[in-house]
Structure 1
Amino acid sequence: MTLAHTGGTTEAARAALAAARAARAEELDRWLTGLLAKAAEAAAPPGDAAEPSPAGGTGGGPADDGLLDGIALVAVGSHARRELTPGGDLDLVLLHRDRAGIAEIADRLWYPIWDSGPRLDHSVRTVAEAREVARTDMKAALGLLSARLIAGDPGLAAELRTAVPADWRADARRRLGELAELCRARWEAQGELAFLLEPDLKEAHGGLRDVQVMQAVGASWVASAPDARVRAAHDLLLDVRHALHEVTGRSSDRLVLQEQEAVARLLAMLDADQLLRATTEAARTVTHAGELLWRRVERFRAPRRAPGGGVERRPVGDGAVEQDGEVVLARNADLKDPALLLRVAAAAAHAGLPLAPATVDRLAEHAALPTAPWPAAARDALVSLLGAGPAAIGVWEALDQAGVVTRLLPDWERVRNRPQRNPFHRYTVDRHLVEAAAGAAALTREVARPDLLLVGALLHDIGKGWPGDHSVSGAVVTRDLAARLGFPPGDVDVLEALVRHHLLLPEAATRRDITDPATVEAVIAAVASVPGREREIVELLAAIAVADGQATGPSAWGTWKGRQVAELARRAIAALSGGTPPPPPALPPEQLALIRHDGAAVRVAGTRITIAAPDRAGLLWQAAGILALHRLAVRTARTVSAASPGAAAANGGTAVLDFTAVPEYGTPPDPAALEADLRRMLADRLDVAGRLERRARSVRVRPGVTVAPPRVTIVPGASDISTVIEVRAHDRPGLLWRIGRALGSLGLQVRGAQVDTLGAEAVDVFYVVDAAGRPLGDDPATLSEVREKVLEALG
């Protein structure tokens, strides 16, 4: 049957294809039933022949006069599922109970099929032989699990349909492991259907073969059979395959570029892009469901717990708990908290664990989402999620499949599943953006604002969902999105500039002479739209260029291009040099009131903790140690001491420490207990180091995601009165205490500090002096010792 599209909707076109497959299945069944009856009659001994009944049909039935007694024709594969497309193969098994003359019956059955044209895969077996083959041949097992009687002895077919699944279930632990290995090899060879410009609809990862595998796993009773969403995705891919066979007249399952427009027309779609978006959507649905299924299989195949062992739950973040290798909601999680969803997602990514499917569903259905402008906690959780690097991709995909991403970022819908008809690009637009953000996480040590880098990387191609130059339209979209995310106006300007100019450095570096002053001037002129932030923007653009290029594909980024971009950025930053470090923070009235007290004063107000005390060595890191003891994660820290310009007259030798700290998980600590411990520390009546070490020994360490190594930089010329040490590291409990203790062990005093945690990245700057109150000087050995000591503390 050949179909020609004559207008109408996509739904109508697809219904016509499904009807054609069903009609073909019925026609084939009738034809094969007649062939089997004729073959049995012709092979019968003289005098035994009788007129066969047409009762076999599509379900088989008792044979008249015993002609078909003890034989059954069974379909396996696509015809068994009534999914045979025009280019599909017939796969048939002739079952028998040691029937005399079975070879002659088989010959009289197979030859007419061969003569009629369909490609045929056939076998003749007893039930015992079929079971034995299924135990050793995975392809045969998968086919026999879906066996369907066409004609002949229904009891014989029922015996096969009962025995093969029972064998499959009995040996599921071994067979599913074997099936997983075969799938991984196939995925490696065929690639991921969702991100291929010319995918194999059947064999690629996320294709029709994977749904058949999921049905086989369901037959083992280890996991559920494919749900309605997967079945719908399968039907779409099957329709595309059917249309491809109709268009080409061939059996190839690869959707090549030159056939895509014709296939789209047959399916009543607008164009090839709509076809690819629909195919991508279906493939991603199948792939994601497959990942969940294989996690179930892995748990099934893992060593069983001892009886009575129970289910262990371990906190991995505020509102998030690890259970059975997945992250689930904590019992006290507040679904009304607009930051909860992203915070739990970030906790899962940083723990290197998937979100449990039920948790994703519950969050998608019941969790409050941040409204514009987002609160800082929600924005920080988004940055933390992106900062997890490659581990964030799977978590993001889980949220995307649940429909959460487009609710958080409505503009995401325009780039979701959008194909890129460019051989350099290996992903759809949305996946490319997520890959770029994940790659940017490895570059957060290179920039002053990791949060702007990660969000800029996530949005750099957001304009590809709009007409015109994607950099220009993307800048407009980004301005609205950045404001929605709650960034302050200055940061909104920077993000807009990053998206507008994300191609500036790679294009200039590869198309212009970077030694020509005019090239550097052009770069500087482009970033001048945000006065005072030019150096920061160039730094961020250089990092985004790397992340963008690497996420595009190996042909889009290489060593030479990387060197050119880095050198151009260096020249532009050198031309923009001359800035000074930010001044120390001014003392607000509440801090001035604190330092009027004699001795020490402590004020705890929500997440804000302020300490005023006589200035002394180690005060900062000892206070940070107390916060760590109370399971508080330091988000920001500022110090003002008597040595700080403009502060000496106000505080007369008193140091003011101003912290913002949030619970690592669970409820905040009792403010009275926290204040009491801070006062005990100030009175030298608390062994901070000892208690922290005891806590560290009690924590079970679980490997999480791989993060970039910490970086310690001594910034030359940043201050005339102190040595400036910048530390970049992955945030973790007690980080500030470790750094401060390392500096203190070298006899150094911290005269000022600016500590920020941006997402999962700590960006800490310390102004230090030696015991005599002087900068450390330029001695390489001394500076190297400082660097190594801090790195050792971070290790």
Structure 2
Amino acid sequence: MYDLKNRRKIINRQGLLQDLEAVLAEDLPPPKRRAKWLALYKQALNQGYDEVKRRFMEDHNGALAVIGNSYVIDQILRTMYEVASRHLYPSGSITKGEALAIVAVGGFGRGELAPQSDVDLLFLHAYKLSPRVEQIVEDILYMLWDLGLKVGQSTRSIDECLRQAKADWTICTAILEARYIVGEKSLFAELQKQFAKSIMDGKDREFLEAKLSERDERHARLGDTRYVLEPNIKDGKGGLRDLHTLYWITKFLYRVHDISELVDQSRLTKREAEHFAKAQQFLWTLRCHLHYLTGRPEERLTFDVQPELASRMGYTDHAGASGVERFMKHYFLIAKEVGDLTRIFCATFEASSKRRRLLNLPMKIFRKDIDSFPVEGGRLTIEHAKRFEKDPVDMLRIFRASQRNRIDIHPDALKSITRKLRFIRKSVKKDETANRIFLDILTAQEDPETTLRHMNECGLLGKFLPDFGRVVAQMQYDMYHVYTTDEHTIRAIGILNRIENGQLNDDHPVASQIIGKVLSRKVLYVAVLLHDIAKGRGGDHSILGADVAREVCPQLGFSSEQTETVAWLVLHHLLMSETAFRRDLGDPKTIQDFVDQVQSPERLRLLLCLTVVDIRAVGPKVWNNWKATLLRELYYRAEDLMSGGLMAEGRSKRAEAAANNLREALPNWPADDLEDHLSQCNPAYLLSYPLESLVRHVHLIKQAEGEEAPLCINMLTAPERDVTEVTIYAADHPGLFSRLSGAMAVCGASIVDARIHTFANGMALDTFLIQNADGVPFGQKEDLKRLDSMIRKVLSGAVRPLQELEKRAKSGLKSRTEIFTVQPRVLIDNKASNTHTVIEVNGRDRPGFLFEVTSTLTRLGLQIAKAKISTFGEQVVDVFYVKDVFGMKIDHDGKLKQIRETLVEVLAKHGAKNKKEKKKPVAAE
């Protein structure tokens, strides 16, 4: 299919051979002669590789590049063999026992060699290894190794090859795609003949099963999804190895040498064969770029290489999507196309991956049909390919039947769906029956996630719901989102289904409890389906998504009230998480503002369920008990307010009730001491902590006073919240919070929440909730001792946090966050709290970020009362509740401007990964 032009410009084998023979004529000692030969080989190899690379950088044709690299090695090997057999180890008459053939196997056998790939060789001999054959093989191998090539090699007789091929499908596959290079061609022909007779004949089913099983194991090892944001382009789902698997099976079953031959046999359409070639060329081009860029056999599209690859492959920024996002979307669409091809090929092979054994299937599948669809081999199918043309709604019906009866769909039917998608016209999308069936699938008790994923993979979901089709393969270039938008959405639906079925009671007790109280579960499922539907459109996806919901929901048969509820949920699907993670839940105004937007208990229940599944579906390490605690607290406080409970009493009455509870919890405490302690406390402190914390604080303060200690530290791990609580009692002074946060950063602790209270006697009680990098409680016993020591050193001035962090940054490994650009942003809100000014700071995560920001706030003369710290991949969102030096909210325009500009300047130092990429920071009020 691909033909190399001007091959001699890549490598001139005759010229190389003449140069080698000229050295031979010099009659040099063997070591010197070999050194000169090695230099000639290196020159030819490097010039050949350079020419292939030069052409590739001009035409960006990876398929030609891998053929070109393979051709270079072919010619080198032919030359080496000729020199060794004619000049080093000549034989007047080669006996059959001295015959040798050099054979390419693996990717090299297919004539495909990536820039950094291994060279896999088989040295084939007839019988027992003769001394001459051994010498030739040894000479060639040493020369190849000295050239710096990575060589995978084996030396076997024909009988050994056949024996090992019978025992190992991997070796069988290697011989299947073996290619003759040089030597006794009759040996290779005999191997092919014997292999076809003793290995291939009658083993079609076994080989097919082995290769598909091998593929499934590989997918499972790498996550079993093609939609991870740092995919493996060789071994991952939808990668090159999947195409190779199809090629191997095709070659074994149909004895063809090229996929295009299946078109002549009427097993594939010409269009499908072209799609195979197109996918293969894209992946080869991408792999060549990746190898050239990294200079190593790298197969993962990691975040640090994605932007450069996007640029090299010509992807530029467009409205709504950056060049790297457009590049990755194209990659995922190609990976999806590989999945489509796999289903089509499997239909041709009459087999499918991961199908159930007949003995394990319920008896009903042995009926002649299910819901009007015939059953063949334990799978739903169709009588003829034109069924979906006559009634395209049957494409949806067969998925509903498969879901309801827990039975797979036959590859023939899936192939027909893929080929007949053009019949899903506008009339079908608006058809009442079609929409009812789709809604049945989405809201079914029987695992909608699997059914929707299969519908998505064959293209039906995006075709029937075009707005969903726009987010298929849509990625966001950040470290927070693990999956593409479509995969994230389908996973969220699956999590919602498992919550509803009681399978996640321990993980999500509140959602599991209230989901049964939801009045319209269909509204909830559709809201989950549509919550990210407008990503990548160049605007606020929540606002645009609400508009999409208002168009889609009536089509699904929803009433105007149901439609508006879905639209509201899509519009506000981030409201609950942003409130819980960025606002002080102990501030009554936070709860009041939240309730004013939610308005009803039904919306509150719907929003909690949507928020939980949305966060949980982002990635495996995103959800933790701390987030669950915050969402649960917000839900119960909002529910309480809606029922008239929380705000019915005044603030002073609730503070007095907290004080009385503390008195009752300490019946044996000296009354005067306790009253003295309470006289130092303000209502905000008493209302900020649960009773058990207030009790613990009393003991801590009593210990500090008894020991006359200037500093007292208490650490408590709370696994139910996934945090370690660090309480510090010390004399208050400006910058205390900043220095404490610096000490924790030096020890590798991440602060997720902090409260700062100053008593009337001038003593401060600061509480930090900390985690490690994995989002779990910080530290073993030794780590906590080290943190205690570091806090004391920092407060005493023995350690300066900023210098320590800078020193560790220089000597440590480069953080992955440094490859990202995060636009610095400062938001100041004087309406979020009645008592404090709220400052929200957005920037790129790095060690010491919090320390720098809090140091700046201190220099600006601000008192930090509370801090909420959130990290979303490479982005930090820190929120501070502050007052001025007089204990008042900041309302002077000049002071507000100074705060914004100073913080933006601090953030801009580290916001962009290099000077060229710095964007104008945002300072907003």
Superposition TM-score, scaled by structure 1 size: 0.62
Q: Does 1:286 align with 2:331?
A: no
Structure 2 equivalent of residue 424 of structure 1:
480
State how far apart, in whole Å, the 1-side matches of 2:83 and 2:494 are. Answer: 64
State the superposition RMSD in angstroms: 3.8
Q: Does 1:467 align with 2:538?
A: yes
Q: Does 1:268 align with 2:310?
A: no
Deviations 1:10-68 (A, max 9, x none): 9x8433x333333333332222112112222245456x18xxxxxxxxxxxxxxx8899
Structure 2 equivalent of residue 549 of structure 1:
615
State how far apart, in whole Å, the 1-side matches of 2:426 and 2:391 are. Answer: 8
Q: Does 1:156 align with 2:187?
A: yes
Structure 2 equivalent of residue 28 of structure 1:
73
State how far apart, in whole Å, the 2-side matches of 1:27 and 1:497 are. Answer: 62
Q: Which has the higher contact order (CA 8 A, sep 6+)?
A: 1
SS of residue paired to 2:109: coil
Q: 1:525 aligns with which of 596, 604, 620?
A: 596
Shift of 1:549: 1.9
Q: 1:405 aligns with which of 454, 461, 469?
A: 461
Contact 1:383-1:454 within 8 A present in 2 as well? no
Q: 1:323 aligns with which of 376, 385, 402?
A: 376
Shift of 1:78: 1.4
State how far apart, in whole Å, the 2-side matches of 1:566 and 1:269 are. Answer: 43
Shift of 1:164: 3.1
Contact 1:461-1:474 within 8 A present in 2 as well? yes
Structure 2 equivalent of residue 95 of structure 1:
124
Could you say if the C-alpha distance between residues 265 and 394 of structure 1 is closer, same or farther in structure 2, counting changes exceeding 3 Å? same
Could you say if the C-alpha distance between residues 379 and 439 of structure 1 is closer, same or farther in structure 2, counting changes exceeding 3 Å? farther
Contact 1:433-1:461 within 8 A present in 2 as well? yes
Structure 2 equivalent of residue 436 of structure 1:
492
State how far apart, in whole Å, the 1-side matches of 2:249 and 2:388 are. Answer: 36
Structure 1 equivalent of residue 150 of structure 2:
119
Q: Does 1:70 align with 2:99?
A: yes
State how far apart, in whole Å, the 2-side matches of 1:395 and 1:107 are. Answer: 56
Contact 1:70-1:97 within 8 A present in 2 as well? yes
State how far apart, in whole Å, the 1-side matches of 2:353 and 2:471 are. Answer: 35
Shift of 1:421: 2.9
Deviations 1:340-383 (A, max 9, x none): 43233222123233333332444434755564983443332122
Shift of 1:287: 4.2
Could you say if the C-alpha distance between residues 312 and 459 of structure 1 is closer, same or farther in structure 2, counting changes exceeding 3 Å? same
State how far apart, in whole Å, the 2-side matches of 1:341 and 1:223 are. Answer: 34
Structure 1 equivalent of residue 525 of structure 2:
454
Contact 2:545-2:571 within 8 A present in 1 as well? yes
Contact 2:108-2:120 within 8 A present in 1 as well? yes
Q: One-letter code of the match for 1:489?
A: S
State how far apart, in whole Å, the 2-side matches of 1:301 and 1:123 are. Answer: 36
Matches within 5 A, 1:574-723: 575-576=641-642
Q: 2:568 aligns with which of 494, 497, 505?
A: 497
Q: 2:115 aligns with which of 68, 86, 89?
A: 86
Q: One-letter code of the match for 2:102?
A: L
State how far apart, in whole Å, the 1-side matches of 2:55 and 2:440 are. Answer: 49
Q: One-letter code of the match for 1:286?
A: V
Shift of 1:391: 4.0
Could you say if the C-alpha distance between residues 148 and 428 of structure 1 is closer, same or farther in structure 2, counting changes exceeding 3 Å? same
Q: 1:488 aligns with which of 538, 559, 564?
A: 559
Q: Does 1:277 align with 2:329?
A: yes
Q: 1:568 aligns with which of 634, 642, 650?
A: 634
SS of residue paired to 1:465: coil
Contact 1:192-1:205 within 8 A present in 2 as well? yes
Structure 2 equivalent of residue 206 of structure 1:
238
State how far apart, in whole Å, the 2-side matches of 1:482 and 1:387 are. Answer: 14
Deviations 1:725-762 (A, max 9, x none): xxxxxxxxxxxxxxxxxxxxxxxxxxxxxxxxxxxxxx
Could you say if the C-alpha distance between residues 5 and 167 of structure 1 is closer, same or farther in structure 2, counting changes exceeding 3 Å? closer
Deviations 1:478-519 (A, max 9, x none): 222324434332222111101011111222223334454433
State how far apart, in whole Å, the 2-side matches of 1:499 and 1:196 are. Answer: 24
Q: One-letter code of the match for 1:323?
A: E
Shift of 1:147: 0.3
Q: One-letter code of the match for 1:279?
A: Y
State how far apart, in whole Å, the 2-side matches of 1:483 and 1:3 are. Answer: 60
Structure 2 equivalent of residue 355 of structure 1:
409
How many residue pairs get aligned? The number is 550
SS of residue paired to 1:554: coil
State how far apart, in whole Å, the 2-side matches of 1:219 and 1:551 are. Answer: 40
Shift of 1:572: 3.4
Q: One-letter code of the match for 1:274?
A: R
State how far apart, in whole Å, the 1-side matches of 2:96 and 2:83 are. Answer: 10
Q: Report percent identity of matched pairs.
A: 27
Structure 2 equivalent of residue 537 of structure 1:
603
State how far apart, in whole Å, the 1-side matches of 2:617 and 2:382 are. Answer: 32
Structure number with the higher helix fraction is 2
State how far apart, in whole Å, the 2-side matches of 1:3 and 1:424 are. Answer: 41
SS of residue paired to 1:163: helix
Could you say if the C-alpha distance between residues 471 and 249 of structure 1 is closer, same or farther in structure 2, counting changes exceeding 3 Å? same
Q: One-letter code of the match for 2:328?
A: L
Structure 1 equivalent of residue 288 of structure 2:
242
- Structure 1 gap segments, 5+ residues each: 50-64, 529-533, 579-795
Shift of 1:144: 1.4
Q: One-letter code of the match for 2:403?
A: A
Contact 2:432-2:557 within 8 A present in 1 as well? yes
Q: One-letter code of the match for 2:290?
A: L
- Structure 2 gap segments, 5+ residues each: 1-48, 260-271, 317-322, 501-514, 645-925
State how far apart, in whole Å, the 1-side matches of 2:584 and 2:525 are. Answer: 29
Q: Does 1:189 align with 2:235?
A: no
State how far apart, in whole Å, the 2-side matches of 1:468 and 1:366 are. Answer: 30
Matches within 5 A, 1:8-47: 13-15=59-61, 17-42=62-87, 44=89
Superposition TM-score, scaled by structure 2 size: 0.54
Q: 2:247 aligns with which of 215, 228, 243?
A: 215
SS of residue paired to 1:73: strand
State how far apart, in whole Å, the 2-side matches of 1:302 and 1:371 are. Answer: 36
Q: One-letter code of the match for 2:327?
A: L
Q: Does 1:251 align with 2:297?
A: yes
State how far apart, in whole Å, the 1-side matches of 2:357 and 2:494 are. Answer: 33
Shift of 1:293: 6.5
SS of residue paired to 1:556: coil
Could you say if the C-alpha distance between residues 475 and 96 of structure 1 is closer, same or farther in structure 2, counting changes exceeding 3 Å? same
Q: One-letter code of the match for 1:143?
A: A
Structure 1 equivalent of residue 19 of structure 2:
none
Could you say if the C-alpha distance between residues 5 and 159 of structure 1 is closer, same or farther in structure 2, counting changes exceeding 3 Å? closer
Could you say if the C-alpha distance between residues 104 and 386 of structure 1 is closer, same or farther in structure 2, counting changes exceeding 3 Å? same
